[in-house]
Structure 1
């Protein structure tokens, strides 16, 4: 087995990251304080230069001492400057794969690829920050074909492509121009320019008193309803164009596809990223709708997996965030035949509505106590404080009522589906064999009213907890017995 070093451009990319992190300090020390004789400034400059030199030396030493190899079964990683370490990560542990090609990568015709496992710590992922497109393809193919071939795959993508069998991918969705328009409208990005323009005008007016500086026909022109409407229209058009371009750059090349074993999500125009996950690794599905998306009949579908993708996990594991609801449901069943989205869901019993309304409003009590104590200092009108208190209580009660009406669930032969929300709505779907833990709990109030709260846990990063409060005790008992049948479905891999 032959080990090799990472691509030399890895040093340049690491150095670029370091420069970005210290750029603000360098500007403060060498630009804003140019010519300063302050002792602290001099110490800061020397410390920054010494830190940069040590970082560069560390990067070079790390590159020379770090190597990797990939055979037919696992990644083999060697590293350590003063203490040598060696790790082996088997392909069968890989939960999902993410490839990202930033604008910087494109300049050098490179890419990055990350293989995420369900483990924690140093074994959580195997990352290649800078690799050629051919090497990334080879590594991905090794992982994809894990267990199907016992021989070592060649080091060149050309030879690998010759030997591999064609895998048929089915493209389920690519956004049309109409979808891009809907996405830009849903994000409300077209309103940003109007808000910024209004804010700038108010600040300029406060500083220079614009309204008093201009006189006569200028004042009449600026205060004309037609002129204001025209300016607002122009700003809306410009904002919409900017929002459309921004949305196109992010979602213009979106593609959702799948084959027999994996789901693939690709997106981005300038900054491209690609995500793939084994179908059998999907732990659950989350379908979420904001208030605006509910009005437009759109939904966002997220795949829940045990592998973590870091800070952009929510973004890369999400199917197109602006899917029509019916298309989202049908696409789930197309890509994941082992999942079924239930269209018929049960409502909570009526007594759970009463329980939710009479539960203590702790936030309201705290706010009301504060308003009562500071009412003479905060309000000039003596009755204003209790008007605010009553209004807050009404809003909280309406939120609980809306949450009750938006809560529903379904427990079928092998699935559980839970929907909750107030203005927006989130639906979570998972299979019984993917649930690792369940619970049934009861508060004093629930004991008096014959209700209970059921909970379930899925493997994810972080662990996914779902709760369904205020179901009947009979339903909670049925849920517990339903989960007990899981032993007949679970198979050791």
Structure 2
């Protein structure tokens, strides 16, 4: 087995990463160049030493760190002063994530991370800079483990830079231009431009004293309704255009595909992100609808996995965040045939609502005691504190009513599905064989009213704990008996 050095361009990316982290500090120190402040001088020397250390350490690691592959595992050697050797079997890989930044594209490179289900510094196997052909080769080794029946056709590179024939992929979803426009309004990204524009206008006005030099001009604009309407229309159209552009750059070239073993998600125009996960590694499916998405009939579907799934900014585990609700149901069944979304679920009984309304209002009680003690004159009312207390109580009661109304559940076959939330509604779907632990609890009030709270834990990162409050005790017992059948399923596997 030949051990390889990492790509020399890794040094360049390390330097760029340093400036990304400390660029603002470097600009501040540059603007205060020549300052007599001891603090700025110390910070300048610390920044210089850190930069030199980053460059030297990156070059040193280039010569000392190596990696190799065989039919079973990655073999990694690292360390400058303390040498470390690590072996990661392909079977331990949960997810594969590719990220190709704009700079990667310019240099015809990419990065790839193989994510395991463990935690800690050595949980993942990252390659920050690789040629695309090398990344394809490494990914093929992992895929071949999950596709044991696949055959290597030849060693000649394929047109796309890969080396192995893959199982034919089926594309399930690509957003249309109409979907991208709707997504731009749903994400409200154009509002950020409005906020930035208003902030810049205020700063420019303060800098150039526009209030004094152009007072007459502003008065003439404000006195004309047509001028105001035209100005607002231009700002709104520009904001919407910028919002659509931001959405296109972020979600353009979005694609959801799958083969018989894996799910593939790719997106991005300038920066590209590609993510794949073995279907049997999916622990659960989560469908989330914000208030705006519920109004427009859209939803976001997220795959819950044992391993790390990128970061929140990349949203790589999310099937397109603005899927039409009906398409959401069908695409889950297409990607994960073992999962099914039940549109008709069971409601909680009326006694569950009574139990929720009878539970203590501790937060309201503490807040009211503080209001009575301090008696603040809110909104210029002498008894404003009493009004605030009443409004808070009404909000808490309304919240309990809405959450009760939105709560649904279904326990069918080997699958459980929970739907809960106030303004943001979340539906969580998992299978019995993916649940690690269950619990059934009853408070005194629940015992008196014949209710219980069920809970279960899914192996994920972080661990997912889901619970359902105030269901009938008969359903809680059925849930416990339902989970007991998991032993048979696990033994059969």
TM-score (norm 2): 0.92
Deviation for aligned residue 1:187: 1.1
User: Within 5 A, what are the aligned runs for 1:260-409?
Assistant: 260-312=260-312, 315-376=315-376, 380-409=380-409
The question of whether the paired residues in 1 share the 8 Å contact of 2:93 and 2:114 is answered with yes
Bigger drift between 343-352 and 369-378 goes to 369-378
Bigger drift between 187-196 and 297-306 goes to 187-196
Partner of 2:239 in structure 1? 239
The question of whether the paired residues in 1 share the 8 Å contact of 2:152 and 2:165 is answered with no
Partner of 2:44 in structure 1? 45
Deviation for aligned residue 1:488: 1.3
SS in 1 for 2:329: helix
Per-residue displacement from partner, 1:286-325 (whole Å, max 9, x unpaired)?
0110001000000110011101034337711000000011
Partner of 1:172 in structure 2? 172
The question of whether the paired residues in 1 share the 8 Å contact of 2:5 and 2:63 is answered with yes
Looking at structure 1, the residues matched to 389 and 357 of structure 2 have their Cα atoms a distance apart, in angstroms, of: 17
Deviation for aligned residue 1:411: 0.1
The question of whether the paired residues in 1 share the 8 Å contact of 2:152 and 2:164 is answered with no
Partner of 2:71 in structure 1? 72
The question of whether the paired residues in 1 share the 8 Å contact of 2:310 and 2:316 is answered with no
Partner of 1:468 in structure 2? 468
Bigger drift between 77-86 and 324-333 goes to 77-86
Bigger drift between 65-74 and 190-199 goes to 190-199
CA shift in 2, pair 1:482/1:314, >3 Å: farther
Deviation for aligned residue 1:202: 7.0
Looking at structure 1, the residues matched to 117 and 126 of structure 2 have their Cα atoms a distance apart, in angstroms, of: 14
* Runs of at least 5 residues in structure 1 that lack an aligned partner in the other structure: none
Looking at structure 1, the residues matched to 369 and 212 of structure 2 have their Cα atoms a distance apart, in angstroms, of: 44
SS in 1 for 2:486: helix
Looking at structure 2, the residues matched to 49 and 155 of structure 1 have their Cα atoms a distance apart, in angstroms, of: 47
The question of whether the paired residues in 2 share the 8 Å contact of 1:138 and 1:156 is answered with no
Partner of 2:190 in structure 1? 190
TM-score (norm 1): 0.92
Deviation for aligned residue 1:212: 11
Looking at structure 1, the residues matched to 111 and 477 of structure 2 have their Cα atoms a distance apart, in angstroms, of: 49
1:127 correspondence with 2:126: yes
Looking at structure 2, the residues matched to 154 and 81 of structure 1 have their Cα atoms a distance apart, in angstroms, of: 38
Looking at structure 1, the residues matched to 152 and 160 of structure 2 have their Cα atoms a distance apart, in angstroms, of: 10
SS in 2 for 1:145: helix
Partner of 2:138 in structure 1? 139
Deviation for aligned residue 1:112: 0.3
Looking at structure 1, the residues matched to 41 and 73 of structure 2 have their Cα atoms a distance apart, in angstroms, of: 50
1:214 correspondence with 2:244: no
Looking at structure 2, the residues matched to 236 and 162 of structure 1 have their Cα atoms a distance apart, in angstroms, of: 46
Deviation for aligned residue 1:472: 1.1
Partner of 2:432 in structure 1? 432
Bigger drift between 230-239 and 7-16 goes to 230-239
SS in 2 for 1:341: coil
Deviation for aligned residue 1:163: 7.2
Looking at structure 2, the residues matched to 112 and 302 of structure 1 have their Cα atoms a distance apart, in angstroms, of: 23
Deviation for aligned residue 1:84: 1.6
The question of whether the paired residues in 2 share the 8 Å contact of 1:98 and 1:114 is answered with yes
Looking at structure 2, the residues matched to 247 and 233 of structure 1 have their Cα atoms a distance apart, in angstroms, of: 21
SS in 2 for 1:456: strand
CA shift in 2, pair 1:286/1:3, >3 Å: same
Bigger drift between 143-152 and 331-340 goes to 143-152
Partner of 2:58 in structure 1? 59
Looking at structure 1, the residues matched to 303 and 39 of structure 2 have their Cα atoms a distance apart, in angstroms, of: 51
CA shift in 2, pair 1:351/1:223, >3 Å: farther
The question of whether the paired residues in 2 share the 8 Å contact of 1:135 and 1:157 is answered with no
Looking at structure 2, the residues matched to 166 and 218 of structure 1 have their Cα atoms a distance apart, in angstroms, of: 65
The question of whether the paired residues in 1 share the 8 Å contact of 2:273 and 2:314 is answered with no
The question of whether the paired residues in 2 share the 8 Å contact of 1:261 and 1:279 is answered with yes
Partner of 1:249 in structure 2? 249
Deviation for aligned residue 1:203: 7.6
SS in 2 for 1:36: coil
CA shift in 2, pair 1:328/1:383, >3 Å: same
Looking at structure 2, the residues matched to 418 and 492 of structure 1 have their Cα atoms a distance apart, in angstroms, of: 27
CA shift in 2, pair 1:38/1:190, >3 Å: closer
The question of whether the paired residues in 1 share the 8 Å contact of 2:329 and 2:341 is answered with yes
CA shift in 2, pair 1:190/1:20, >3 Å: closer
CA shift in 2, pair 1:335/1:202, >3 Å: same
Looking at structure 2, the residues matched to 195 and 36 of structure 1 have their Cα atoms a distance apart, in angstroms, of: 34
Per-residue displacement from partner, 1:41-85 (whole Å, max 9, x unpaired)?
444333332232223222222221110011111111111112221
The question of whether the paired residues in 1 share the 8 Å contact of 2:193 and 2:242 is answered with no
Per-residue displacement from partner, 1:236-283 (whole Å, max 9, x unpaired)?
211110000000001110000000000000000000000000000000
Looking at structure 2, the residues matched to 481 and 279 of structure 1 have their Cα atoms a distance apart, in angstroms, of: 27
Looking at structure 2, the residues matched to 444 and 399 of structure 1 have their Cα atoms a distance apart, in angstroms, of: 23
Per-residue displacement from partner, 1:205-254 (whole Å, max 9, x unpaired)?
89969499735x96354144433333222222111100000000011100
SS in 1 for 2:321: coil
